[in-house]
Amino acid sequence: MTDSSSTALAATRDRLLDAAAQLFYSDGIGVGVEALCRAAGVSKRSMYQLFDSKDEVMAASLERIAPTYWASLAPSDEDDRPPRARILHVFERLEELTTSPGYRGCPFVAAAVELKRPDHPASLAARRYKDALTAFFQQEAQRAGVRDPALLAQQLTIVFDGASARAVVQAGALRGIAATTAGAILDHAGVVDQDG
């Protein structure tokens, strides 16, 4: 394969995954291959040269958006605030995201819930993302010196997912409830503003 063929194939793959991420998020996983290819401006033949199935496209599109979605939520690597502030930053950013008219919830939860198959490639991609979110919370909980950082991390992940779902069900912004709820859980665990 020539360099120009590889470049063209990579560009086609990028267009396909970008279109897939957008369509699956806005319209759900029922989007057909034809609609997906049309939105991406690629032929079905090209799609099947790159991926064996729509399922693989779904999983790859989730993997592709994971770093960008995380960057929209996470404190920067240079953020040296205490663990409580870094954790609450994630919930404050979630609340900001819910004010967008195009907000349809956490894309990873949305995909997994709609698929209803834990072994689906996109469900596995969603689980990896959620495990990474929980790992971030656990790392911060360990920094804070809490007794059971794994439990606290799981509780915070449940608050995140529940708040995200609530914003979708209620079709509106969270208005402080996610950060307040996370803050109450952190208070109960003894995570205060100072470094633990």
Q: Residue 9's domain is classified under what CATH number?
A: 1.10.10
Check whether 96 has a pLDDT greater than 90: yes
The predicted-structure confidence for 55-69, as pLDDT tens digits, reads as follows 999 999 999 999 999
pTM of the entire predicted model: 0.93
* Contact assessment for residue 40 and residue 20, using Cβ atoms and an 8 Å cutoff: yes
- 104 alpha-carbon distance from chain centroid: 11
Shared-domain flag, residues 145 and 71: yes
Q: Residue 136's domain is classified under what CATH number?
A: 1.10.357.10
* Contact assessment for residue 195 and residue 145, using Cβ atoms and an 8 Å cutoff: no
Question: In angstroms, rounded to a whole number, what is the distance separating the alpha carbons of residues 87 and 133?
Answer: 10
Shared-domain flag, residues 65 and 143: yes
Q: Note down the domain range covering 33.
A: 1-51
Phi, then psi, of 49 in degrees rounded to 5: -75, -30
Check whether 6 has a pLDDT greater than 90: no
Token pair for 192: 């205060």
- 71 alpha-carbon distance from chain centroid: 10
Shared-domain flag, residues 156 and 70: yes
What is the total count of domains within the chain? 2
Segment 150-179 shows an average pLDDT of 97
